[in-house]
Homo-oligomer: A and B are copies of this chain.
């Protein structure tokens, strides 16, 4: 889950000669992209569309943005500022949970972004801050460095996926149709060919409702035990 951080392309340090300040900038581009993303969805965040928003041509963006994926990742990071600003309370476990739930909440409202976050290695300053915070909680809980690093990876992954999945079943008529299709398949599973799916069919259909919490809990339990064993 951990990807690069901050702009992959900053405007190069300006050469002394002509100081005429640039008309564009990464911040302006990302803000315009975030605006369009919030209003119309990340799918509408295309080079051409954002350039038009800034009254220029798509080619102009390439000074500040590596490619479309880079731009999408920057939009997500922009949204993560809210998570960074939160100050969860409680013991370290509670704070891990609260942080992840808050992170997931941002993505649940933005299905397409959640999918993107899963597919692309995440990047950005706010994301790095999130990683740092979660690592801190785990260290506080006595988790070792290797376990903590891997666990943060796992926890963010689970939170992202949970949001993406939860998001899939919300809104859009198409999602509704897909859910119906899935339900048809799972419920109709032949007990002879797929006995276990048939047996667990009610549980397989349980979406949302505490699943993220269970996932987080399971990972923390797994960690906990590992930690104790090491201490013996």
A197 close to B (CB within 8 Å) = yes
Nearest CB of B to A75, in Å? 16
Do residues A178 and B121 form an inter-chain contact, with CB atoms below 8 A?
yes
Give the distance in Å from the alpha carbon of A226 to the alpha carbon of B224 in the complex.
12
A142 close to B (CB within 8 Å) = no
Q: Mark A206-232, 1 if CB is under 8 A from B, else 0.
A: 100001001101111111111000000
Nearest CB of B to A164, in Å? 7
Nearest CB of B to A95, in Å? 13
A189 close to B (CB within 8 Å) = yes
Main SS of chain A's interface residues? Answer: helix
Residue of B157, B178, B194, B211 touching A129 (CB-CB under 8 A): B194
A6 close to B (CB within 8 Å) = yes
Do residues A139 and B196 form an inter-chain contact, with CB atoms below 8 A?
yes
Residues in A63-95 with C-beta less than 8 Å from chain B? none
A1 close to B (CB within 8 Å) = yes
| Nearest-neighbor residue (CB-CB) of A179 within chain B | B4
Residue of B132, B178, B218 touching A154 (CB-CB under 8 A): B218
Nearest CB of B to A119, in Å? 4
A47 close to B (CB within 8 Å) = no
A105 close to B (CB within 8 Å) = no
